[in-house]
């Protein structure tokens, strides 16, 4: 910024001798200040001054242009690097938040913060901030050289334009704040509407409700675009008025100087030319500064939302190095567990105690709202009990060591999440492509009884499953979920109503895959139908926040 400003000063300063050489070379040739330079360059007539001064003026203008391009390149690169750091910081912090945080807020808000609002911050806060700083340095340099040429005119011009921009700032501040709130709010709403429309596409196609979703989206998107347009108009509109006023001031200055100057036009033109060039540089810089300020204020609400996400606490990962890893050789024990999701909601689990020996197969049943899923989340360390403890081989699981316990657990939910990638990548979910153990993938698929199907496909394990596994049947998705759990080589596999959405025949096939798993695995299952749990050696019925009954399958059906 400083070097670019210095180059601007040189280009403005070089116009003075250049115009003087054009209009009155004799006066310049006889100048005592230029005598040493003229002597060194061996210039023997006034007319020979024109070529070197032309080269000097063109060279300084070229250097100034190159420096401004270089400054733009560096500032833009820096802005987007900072934006990448912010986006990554939010994403990393979001993924490390406790499960209770994730279930309490909208995913559209987070997605918009990571992607949309971060982009807005790059374009409308970081880049304008660097531009504003650059403009301040440039303004100082230009004002300094104009003061050297004509102090009175420089002060008058700067004061006039400064006053006009101050009036515009005072008028537009409140409007920009209102539009900023609208942009932040509506951008999140637009993301939510997109998620709702695309996520429920089957029902929308069946119901023919496309128009309803399009109308709601159009209103939100139009309101967002209108607010963005108003911010852009406020930021850019003063430029044209200031250019007109600047031309009027230069015309007035030219008239006054040529009419009052003793040397007439020849004396006045170099000064007028230098001042005009300075004004030509000054006005865009002033406009840049105002435009940057308007963009920053217009994105203030988005910036606040982004910074709030960036302020999410990040776990002290170094603590993981000093905690002894959890071993699981004997049993899991739930000891007098109490839990509720928030103070204004009822207690979900009350004084629940239970033991699960290693290698056992335990099933849970109960009516909707009996606490089955909550209990599983506590068992998996996703939720921490309000009172009571989760113990593994006598060691209490807390926030500080829960990740060690979670390394023992694999989870197969009712709706398996499959990414739009290959079968192999979905089985080895979360593993970098170059680190996937293909033999381990095949072994897991064999255990999940899906290897025959995969081998029958043209691309086998390289077959793309489509977004959320749309190209696979429900039973196939569930068995890929089981294979994923087995690839992890966990000690405990949790099935959370993993077969409830399947028909009887497909459910039987999936249950056969589950029943064929090694006896060394501890299997925990939740199901709506008691018949689904027939292979379990212990079944627990939950109700009213606690254990109602414990027994074998035969004891339960009797």
Over the stretch 306-318, which tens digit does the pLDDT of each residue have? Answer: 777 788 777 665 4
Most confident of 278-292, 293-307, 375-389, 464-478: 375-389
CA angle 74, 80, 82 (to 5 degrees): 100
Calpha distance 60→516 (Å, rounded): 81
| Residues 6+ away with beta carbon under 8 Å from 532 | 363, 499, 500, 507, 511, 525
Average pLDDT over residues 59-67: 84
CB 485 within 8 A of CB 428: no
pLDDT mean over 502-513: 68
Tell me what pLDDT residue 4 has.
82
CA angle centred on 17, ends 16 and 21, rounded to 5°: 125
Determine the pLDDT at residue 480: 82
Among 115, 275, 99, 129, which Cα is nearest to 191's?
115
Q: Is the pLDDT at 444 greater than 80, yes or no?
A: yes
DSSP 8-class letter at 422 = B
Average pLDDT over residues 156-172: 76
SS3 breakdown of the chain: % helix, strand, coil, rounded to 5?
65, 10, 25
What is the per-residue pLDDT for 269?
A: 60
Two structure tokens written together for 287:
């406009």
Adjacent-strand bridge partners of 366: 542
Q: How far apart are CA 316 and CA 367, in angstroms?
A: 39
Spatial contact of 381 and 450, defined as CB atoms under 8 Å apart = no
Cβ atoms of 189 and 220 within 8 Å: the answer is: yes
The answer to whether the CB of 418 falls within 8 A of the CB of 469 is: yes
Kindly state the tokens that stand for 260. Answer: 């009052």
Residue 56 confidence class, pLDDT cut points 50, 70, 90: confident
Task: Tell me the Cα Rg of the chain.
Answer: 36
User: In this predicted structure, what is the pLDDT of residue 202?
Assistant: 60
Reference 490, options 554, 405, 429; nearest CA is 405
Return the pLDDT at 272.
63
Phi–psi pair at 395, nearest 5 degrees: -95, 130
Residue 321: which pLDDT band, with cuts at 50, 70 and 90?
A: very low
Taking the C-alpha atoms of residue 339 and residue 375, their distance in angstroms, rounded to an integer, is 9
CA-nearest of 42, 52, 48, 43 to 14 is 52
Q: What is the mean pLDDT of residues 470-493?
A: 79
Task: Give the residue with greater pLDDT, 20 vs 4.
Answer: 4
Expressed in angstroms, the distance from the first to the final Cα of the chain is 84
Distance CA 492, CA 430 (A): 19
Beta strand pairing status for 522-526 and 492-496? Answer: parallel
Extended beta strands in 299-456, E state: 331-339, 349-357, 361-366, 387-392, 395-396, 409-412
Q: Which residues contact 457 (CB under 8 A, 6 or more apart)?
A: 423, 463
b/e burial code for range 39-67 (CB count within 10 A of at least 16 → b): eeeebeebeebeebbeebbeebbebbeeb
Model pLDDT, residue 206? 61
Q: Give CA–CA dist 471/207, Å, rounded.
A: 23
Mean pLDDT (the chain, rounded):
76
Three-state secondary structure readout of 73-84: HHHHHHHHHHHH
| Tokens encoding 303 | 């910036």
Which of 1-10, 263-272, 539-548 shows the lowest per-residue confidence on average (mean pLDDT)?
263-272
Fold category of 76-310 in CATH:
ABC transporter transmembrane region fold (1.20.1560)
Write down the pLDDT at residue 216.
82
Q: What is the pLDDT of residues 220-244, one digit of tens each?
A: 888 888 887 888 887 777 776 776 7
Average pLDDT on 382-401 reads: 83
Structure-token match 């200031």, residue found: 242
Distance CA 228, CA 299 (A): 9
Phi, psi of 520, deg, nearest 5: -75, -15
- Calculate what percentage of the chain has a pLDDT beyond 90: 0
> In this model, does residue 324 exceed pLDDT 70?
no
Please report the pLDDT score of residue 318 as a whole number: 42
CA–CA gap between residue 427 and residue 480 (Å, rounded): 6
Contact 308, 283 (CB under 8 A): no
Query: Which of the residue ranges 122-131, 218-227, 446-455, 500-509 would you say has the lowest mean pLDDT?
Result: 500-509
pLDDT at 418 over 80: no
With beta carbons less than 8 A apart as the criterion, state whether 463 and 457 touch: yes
CATH class of 325-557: alpha beta
Structural contact between residues 410 and 404, judged by C-beta atoms closer than 8 angstroms: no
Distance CA 77, CA 521 (A): 52
Helix or strand (DSSP H, E) at 155 = helix 151-199
- The reported pLDDT for the residue numbered 319 is 46
Q: Which residues contact 375 (CB under 8 A, 6 or more apart)?
A: 334, 337, 349, 352, 364, 542
Domain coordinates of the chain in residue numbers?
A: 76-310, 325-557
Q: What's the pLDDT band for 250 if we cut at 50, 70, 90?
A: low
pLDDT tens sequence across 82-133? 877 887 777 777 777 777 677 666 666 677 666 666 777 777 778 888 887 8
Residues paired with residue 355 on neighbouring β-strands, in sequence order: 333
Per the structure block, which two tokens stand in for 548?
Answer: 């109602």
**Does the pLDDT of residue 279 top 70, yes or no?**
no
Beta strands in 456-496 (DSSP E): 492-496
Number of H helices, E strands in the chain: 22, 10
Distance of CA 468 to the CA centre of its chain: 23
pLDDT for 210 equals 75
What are the DSSP calls for 372-406, one per residue? Answer: HHHHHHHHTTSS--SEEEEEETTEEP-TTTHHHHH
Type and span of the H or E element at 475:
helix 474-487
Lowest mean pLDDT among 8-22, 298-312, 326-340, 436-450: 8-22
| Same fold for the pair 76-310 and 325-557 | no
Q: What is the pLDDT of residue 322?
A: 43
């Amino acid at each position: 910024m400083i070097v670019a400003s210095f180059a601007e000063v040189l280009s403005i300063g070089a116009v003075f001798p250049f115009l003087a050489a054009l209009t009155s070379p004799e006066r310049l040739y006889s100048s005592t200040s230029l005598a040493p330079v003229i002597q060194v360059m061996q210039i023997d007539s006034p007319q020979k001054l024109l070529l070197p001064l032309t080269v000097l003026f063109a060279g300084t203008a070229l250097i100034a242009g190159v420096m401004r391009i270089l400054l733009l390149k560096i500032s833009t690169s820096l802005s987007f690097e900072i934006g990448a750091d912010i986006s990554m910081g939010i994403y990393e912090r979001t993924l490390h938040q406790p499960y209770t945080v994730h279930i309490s807020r909208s995913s559209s808000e987070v997605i918009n913060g990571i992607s949309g609002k971060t982009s807005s911050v790059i374009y409308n806060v970081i880049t304008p901030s660097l531009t504003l700083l650059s403009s301040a340095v440039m303004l100082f340099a230009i004002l300094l050289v104009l003061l050297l040429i004509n102090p009175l005119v420089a002060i008058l011009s700067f004061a006039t334009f400064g006053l006009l921009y101050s009036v515009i700032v005072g008028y537009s501040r409140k409007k920009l704040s209102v539009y900023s709130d609208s942009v932040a709010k509506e951008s999140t709403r637009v993301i939510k509407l997109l998620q709702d429309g695309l996520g429920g596409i089957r029902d929308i196609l069946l119901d023919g409700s496309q128009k309803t979703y399009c109308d709601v989206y159009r209103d939100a998107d139009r309101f967002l675009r209108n607010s963005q347009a108003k911010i852009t108009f406020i930021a850019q509109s003063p430029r044209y008025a200031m250019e007109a006023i600047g031309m009027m001031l230069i015309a007035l200055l030219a008239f006054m100087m040529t009419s009052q100057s003793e040397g007439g036009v020849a004396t006045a033109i170099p000064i007028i030319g230098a001042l005009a060039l300075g004004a030509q540089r000054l006005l865009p810089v002033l406009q840049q500064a105002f435009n940057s300020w308007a963009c920053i204020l217009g994105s203030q609400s988005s910036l606040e939302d982004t910074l709030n996400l960036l302020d999410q606490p990040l776990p002290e990962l170094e603590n993981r190095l000093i905690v002894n890893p959890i071993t699981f050789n004997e049993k899991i024990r739930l000891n007098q567990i109490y839990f509720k999701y928030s103070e204004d909601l009822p207690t979900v689990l009350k004084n629940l105690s239970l033991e699960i020996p290693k290698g056992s197969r335990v099933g849970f049943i109960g009516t909707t709202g009996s606490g089955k899923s909550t209990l599983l989340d506590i068992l998996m360390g996703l939720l921490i009990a309000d009172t009571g403890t989760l113990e593994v081989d006598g060691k209490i699981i807390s926030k500080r060591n829960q990740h060690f316990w979670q390394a023992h657990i694999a989870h197969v939910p009712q709706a398996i999440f499959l990414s739009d990638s290959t079968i192999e990548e979905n089985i080895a979910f979360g593993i970098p492509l170059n680190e996937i153990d293909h033999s381990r993938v095949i072994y897991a698929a064999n255990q999940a009884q899906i290897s025959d199907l995969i081998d029958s496909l043209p691309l086998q394990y390289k077959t793309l499953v489509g977004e959320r596994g749309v190209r696979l049947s429900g039973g196939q998705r569930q068995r890929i979920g089981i294979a994923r759990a087995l690839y992890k080589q966990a000690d405990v596999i949790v099935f959370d109503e993993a077969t409830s959405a399947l028909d009887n025949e497909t459910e039987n096939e999936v249950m056969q895959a589950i029943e064929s798993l090694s006896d060394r695995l501890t299997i925990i299952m939740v199901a709506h139908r008691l018949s689904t749990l027939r292979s379990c050696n212990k079944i627990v019925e939950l109700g009213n926040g606690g254990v109602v009954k414990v027994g074998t399958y035969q004891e339960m059906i009797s």
